[in-house]
Amino acid sequence: MQPFASLIKPDKTSKQPVYIQIANQLMELIRQGFLQPGFQLPSSRQLADSLNIHRKTVVRAYEELLAQGWVESRIGTGTFVAAHLPEIIPQSPLNETMGHIDSNKKAGFTFDQKPHLNRAVIKNNIKLHLDDGFPDPRLAPLEELSRAYRTQLLTGNPYTRLGYGDTAGSYWLRKELSLYLNETRGLKTSPENILITRGTVMGLYLASTGLLKSGDSVVLGELSWSSASNNFLQAGAKVIKVPVDEFGINTDALEKICQKQSVRMVYVTSHHHYPTTVALRADRRIHLLQLSEKYGFIIFEDDYDYDFHYLSKPLLPLAGADRSGMVLYCGSFTKAISPAFRVGYLVGSENVITYLAQLRRIIDRQGDMMLENAMAELLQNGIIQRHLRKSLRTYRTRRDYFCDLLQTELGDYLNFQKPDGGMAVWGEFDKNINLKELSAKAIQNDLFFSDGSENNSPAEIRNATRLGFASSTIEELESCVGILKKLLTG
């Protein structure tokens, strides 16, 4: 009796009831084969005395095991490990000092770990930051959004409001988005042309999974967003890179590729090329649309920061000039408000949107209907539009000040062009500067910026990175540049 009881170790300080602990530990002994089918368990009184607990606790533990089919009770005889369970040969002694595989850390089965998924997750909690080009959430209309969200939670028919909705997203938001996109971007959409997503990445994933087959060719710039290429690789596509210059992707190089092989999709950030921030020139826009019609490839247009253009009226998206239904247009509110609010949109022909909404259903039944309706209310009332106008003025001031600082304080160490729009500067550092070491030293001084390694390739170390200015105040930008200057000159 005593050796058996020593295997059961209830913790009376745990929040889990003691009877559940005992039942779980007995289950584990059965699973490991140390209690075989037909083994007679001690009586409830015996086990209670050995463990110094109340007999009713053991009775409840046995009842739990009985209910789950681990044990069986024989009237007048006692409680036994269920005879129908398979016999298990113990694999190792019940000695904690012998060590066991930690199944919480390592699975017992094997799987392929794809290298393109091995990317660090940005969880920046450092005081100062020259990030990838994020908005300043301190400017976001959070009070208006919280009121709208509360309204959605508390008013209307709760069965409808809090139940399942359309997999394409809130109809109200799609309606308001259609009006907004048609007015600001020259599109000609209806709500049926819009699928609400949880940001641009979901739009990319749905398009890659639903429209690409293994072996399809996808073309994107030599410098491009890694999340895009990773989605294409995950879908089994072959990624082909084309040169990028001061006018965006080289469409002549793209045409030469199309002449030699079939291309299924071209990914482009036409308004502000990622990461270099340059705009795709008008003649290349026309050429790209012509090539799409001629060779039948899909254009995935990622318009991640259309609303932030500082010189004049921004260039209209390719989607606005698409007459053949070849463009999928994607954007989100993460740049307009904050990355925490995962509301994006994918725009395309009705049959494609219907199909991708069906695909979305098997990975994410629907989005946050409360948030989507709250965003619809802010669009309808013009609150988001006013916020964007205010943010545009603020970000333009920060861009100008930051670029002046870079030129006067760090002009000997990096080259850059003042961006016409967006939230970041593309900085090319002197080749003698080890950007990875500089980034590491900056973190030690409470400043985060990317070391630019994801912009490199085996053939070329570009020694360049994006330096985001929008999320920092004038004073914070001064501190950032001051730290960089000290590290570079010190």
Cβ–Cβ < 8 Å for 114, 234: yes
**Pairwise CA distance, residues 63 & 299, whole Å:** 63
Q: What is the mean pLDDT of residues 293-308?
A: 91
Three-state DSSP class for residue 131: coil
Of 420, 393, 405, residue with least CA distance to 475: 405
Q: What is the pLDDT of residue 97?
A: 47
Say which range, 16-30, 177-191, 197-211, 453-467, has the weakest mean pLDDT.
453-467
- Rounded to 5 degrees, φ, ψ at 40 are -85, 125
301 membership: H or E segment, kind and range: strand 298-302
Q: What is the pLDDT of residue 99?
A: 52
Cross-strand pairs, 328 = 300
Q: How confident is the model at residue 107 (pLDDT cuts 50, 70, 90)?
A: confident
Q: What is the pLDDT of residue 104?
A: 74
Q: What is the pLDDT of residue 32?
A: 85
Token digits of residue 417: 């062009």
DSSP assigned state of 363: T
The answer on pLDDT for 268 being more than 50 is yes
Domain 128-133+386-489: which CATH number of 3.90.1150.10, 3.40.50.2000, 1.10.287.130, 3.40.640.10: 3.90.1150.10
User: Each residue of 147-183: pLDDT tens digit?
Assistant: 998 988 888 777 777 778 888 999 999 999 999 999 9
Q: Which CATH architecture has domain 2-93?
A: Orthogonal Bundle (1.10)
Q: Name, in order, each residue with C-beta under 8 angstroms of 121's C-beta and a sequence gap of 6 or more.
A: none
The residue extents of the domains of the chain are 2-93, 128-133+386-489, 141-381
User: Each residue of 374-426: pLDDT tens digit?
Assistant: 999 999 999 999 999 999 999 999 999 999 999 999 999 999 999 988 899 99
Long-range contacts of 478-482 (CB under 8 A, 24+ apart): 478/405, 479/128, 479/447, 480/128, 480/129, 480/130, 480/447, 480/449, 481/402, 481/405, 481/406, 481/409, 481/410, 482/409
Token digits of residue 63: 């009842």
User: Each residue of 226-253: pLDDT tens digit?
Assistant: 889 999 999 999 999 999 998 999 999 9
Q: How confident is the model at residue 98 (pLDDT cuts 50, 70, 90)?
A: very low
Domain 141-381: which CATH number of 3.40.50.300, 3.40.640.10, 3.30.413.10, 3.40.190.290: 3.40.640.10
**Pairwise CA distance, residues 331 & 343, whole Å:** 9
Kindly report whether the peptide bond that precedes residue 17 is cis, defined as omega within 30 degrees of 0.
Answer: no
* pTM, 2 dp: 0.80
Cβ–Cβ < 8 Å for 305, 337: no
The answer on pLDDT for 211 being more than 90 is yes
Cβ–Cβ < 8 Å for 329, 321: no
Say which range, 15-19, 253-257, 440-444, 458-462, has the weakest mean pLDDT.
458-462
Q: How confident is the model at residue 199 (pLDDT cuts 50, 70, 90)?
A: confident
User: Each residue of 110-141: pLDDT tens digit?
Assistant: 888 888 777 776 666 788 999 988 999 999 99
Q: What is the mean pLDDT of residues 8-22?
A: 90
Token digits of residue 332: 């989100």
Say which range, 71-80, 158-167, 256-265, has the weakest mean pLDDT.
158-167
Token digits of residue 400: 């100008």
Q: What is the pLDDT of residue 123?
A: 64
Of 418, 412, 392, 405, residue with least CA distance to 470: 392
DSSP-derived pairing of the beta strands 424-429 and 344-347: unpaired
Q: What is the pLDDT of residue 285?
A: 92
Cross-strand pairs, 302 = 330
Q: What is the mean pLDDT of residues 20-33?
A: 90
The answer on pLDDT for 93 being more than 60 is no
Average pLDDT, the chain: 89
Cβ–Cβ < 8 Å for 130, 472: yes
